[in-house]
């Protein structure tokens, strides 16, 4: 077995994980960008997730190049363009959850490497990104999902919030606060925003845009760390039968007979984070039918037609497999990134939502 690489006995070996990491590196562009698949666009969220997977999959140099690309493409206000194809901006809009995710990647890198020089190099970019994201928080606590840009100038804010995106931002704010403490530069504004956001994700999900037919809206409040304990267990049971297809994985959209690997692996990590390890491991094994040659992964599978669709191998699916394997195996210190035990909890203070708990200052996290 290769040293320090994830392995899930009976499901994936360390050699197989190494092959999957190599498949991501093979699709990395000379600039360091990691597109969804060869010739497709790059977005900074999936790019950072791939960089995290490369690091724990034995491709540290490729991971470093990916992070350097992110530094080069960040705009002065802290955001990144939503879509970049072969170095050209295809969609200049800034999406908040994408821009926030660098914080998660840098904290993950710290957990794995304990390299303070790396953190110092990326801390200014993390700070700019999270300041920009927090500036777009809505009165009820959710985060506006994007802002338009025209000719390099910020435009209209799309003032609706997404459950999945805001849940990911919750994790990013926690990672940002942890990095701020490491740097000796506390960010109380992020803590305040994180508490308001956590409350919204626990108590006011109806105030977010209704994307309930997407499985990500179901499990992301758990994956992002806002919902834990009995509330998380109830949330899992609430839509398990809607999204889980036995022996295949989970649906991307409840109305389509299409299981997808990335969503399945994210649910694996969410389940493991709340102690449902047996379910998590079974789902991880179930989705391995998407594994292809050279360690690559198909995006999804339309089961009535028994066909992989679309006909592509995606870096984000491969990355989710590696990160799920690391979490299940505990091979690296980065395996904690979705469990979040290394991250702070947020107190719910200065709430503006108007509900009964809005007058409760400094309330401890309720699970």
Digit-coded pLDDT (tens) for 21-74: 999 999 999 999 999 999 999 999 999 999 999 999 999 999 999 999 999 999
Instruction: Show the beta-strand stretches assigned E in 108-152.
Output: 144-150
- Whether the pLDDT of residue 362 is over 70: the answer is no
Rounded to the nearest 5°, which phi and psi values hold at 251? -70, 145
Whether the full predicted model's pTM is greater than 0.85, yes or no, is yes
The residue with tokens 């979490």 is 327
Q: What is the mean pLDDT of residues 70-79?
A: 97
Structure tokens at 180: 């701020």
Average pLDDT value for residue range 128-155 = 96
Average pLDDT of span 173-177:
98
For the chain, percent of residues with pLDDT exceeding 90: 93
User: Are the C-beta atoms of residues 126 and 106 closer than 8 Å to each other?
Assistant: yes
Measured in whole angstroms, how far is the alpha carbon of residue 267 from the centre of its chain?
A: 11
pLDDT tens for 313-361 read 999 999 999 999 999 999 999 999 999 999 999 988 778 777 865 444 3
Task: Output the pLDDT for position 351.
Answer: 82
**Sheet containing 81-85: order of strands:** 81-85, 88-95, 144-150, 153-161
| pLDDT score for 124 | 98
pLDDT of 357 reads 56
Q: Which residues of 155-186 are buried (b: 16+ CB within 10 A; e: fewer)?
A: eebbeebbbbbbbbbbbbbbbbbbbbeebeee
Tokens, residue 249: 């994985």
pLDDT at 3: 54
């Amino acid at each position: 077995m290769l040293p320090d690489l994830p392995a899930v006995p009976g499901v994936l070996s360390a050699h197989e994980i190494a092959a999957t990491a190599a498949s991501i590196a093979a699709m990395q562009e000379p600039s360091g960008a990691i597109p969804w698949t060869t010739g497709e666009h790059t977005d900074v969220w999936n790019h950072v997730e791939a960089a995290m997977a490369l690091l724990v999959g034995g491709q540290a140099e490729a991971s470093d190049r990916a992070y350097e690309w992110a530094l080069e493409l960040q705009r002065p206000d802290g955001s990144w363009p939503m879509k970049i194809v072969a170095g050209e901006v295809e969609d200049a809009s800034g999406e908040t959850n994408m821009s926030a995710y660098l914080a998660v990647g840098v904290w993950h890198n710290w957990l794995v490497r304990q390299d303070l020089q790396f953190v110092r190099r990326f801390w200014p970019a993390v700070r700019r990104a999270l300041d920009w994201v927090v500036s777009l928080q809505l009165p009820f606590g959710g985060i506006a999902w994007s802002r338009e840009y025209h000719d390099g100038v910020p435009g209209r804010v799309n003032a609706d919030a997404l459950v999945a995106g805001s849940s990911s931002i919750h994790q990013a704010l926690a990672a940002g606060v942890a990095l701020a403490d490491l740097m000796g530069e506390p960010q109380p504004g992020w803590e305040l925003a994180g508490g308001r956001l956590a409350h919204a994700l626990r108590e006011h999900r109806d105030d977010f845009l209704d994307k309930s037919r997407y499985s990500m809206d179901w499990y992301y409040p758990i994956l992002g760390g806002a919902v834990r304990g009995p509330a998380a267990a109830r949330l899992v049971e609430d839509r398990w039968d809607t999204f889980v297809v036995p022996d295949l994985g989970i649906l991307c959209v409840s109305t389509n007979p299409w299981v997808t690997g990335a969503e399945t692996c994210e649910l694996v990590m969410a389940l493991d984070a709340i102690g449902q390890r047996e379910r998590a491991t079974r789902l991880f094994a179930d989705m391995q039918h998407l594994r292809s040659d050279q360690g690559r992964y198909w995006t999804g599978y339309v089961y009535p037609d028994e066909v992989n669709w679309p006909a592509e191998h995606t870096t984000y699916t491969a990355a989710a497999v590696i990160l799920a394997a690391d979490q299940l195996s505990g091979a690296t210190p980065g395996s904690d990134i979705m469990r979040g035990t290394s991250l702070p909890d947020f107190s719910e203070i200065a709430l503006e939502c108007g509900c009964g708990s809005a007058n409760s200052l400094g309330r401890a996290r309720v699970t």
